Amino acid sequence: MQPSRLEFTGEDGITLVADAYGDPQHPPVILSHGGGQTRHSWGATAQALADRGWYAVAYDHRGHGESDWSSEGLYDLAHFALDMACLARSFEQPPVIVGASLGGLAAMLGAGEIQETMFRAIVLVDVT
């Protein structure tokens, strides 16, 4: 099944592009890629999660894939976390975050510094 292409507004009004798999009425899970990747690295995982009853959304970080580049050159970890917070708040219920490398670091910063209850859970992949 082909994913749905979505667009979200991140911090600073930046456009974040995502692929969504599954039923939007199911519990959400956000898949956040590493620094040298795009949302496409999560395709098989997103489909497997959707097949198991999740609404899986894999997105491109700012400056990656099809998402916008920051006109001010804002690519610090805080802005990746703020973008993730914008995405998380777009759901009716707190999502689970699966974050690889950069995505995992952004999730930890978001939960610890922005809002502790923003995520249902965080799963870290390849975070040192």
- Please, are residues 101 and 34 in contact by the beta-carbon 8 Å criterion? yes
Which amino acid is residue 11, in one-letter code? E
How many residues would you count in the chain?
128
The secondary structure of the chain, three-state, reads: CCCEEEEEECHHHCEEEEEEECCCCCCEEEEECCCCCCHHHHHHHHHHHHHCCCEEEEECCCCCCCCCCCCCCCCCHHHHHHHHHHHHHCCCCCCEEEEECHHHHHHHHHHHHHCCCCCCEEEEECCC
- Per residue in 98-109, pLDDT (tens digit) is 999 999 999 999
The pLDDT-based confidence of 118 (bands split at 50, 70, 90) is confident
Residue 116 in this model has a pLDDT that exceeds 90: no
Task: Evaluate if pTM is beyond 0.85.
Answer: yes
- Give dist(CA 107, CA 100) in Å, integer: 10
pLDDT of residue 57: 98
Residue 70 in this model has a pLDDT that exceeds 90: yes
- Please, are residues 57 and 87 in contact by the beta-carbon 8 Å criterion? yes
- Give dist(CA 29, CA 72) in Å, integer: 29
- Give dist(CA 37, CA 40) in Å, integer: 8
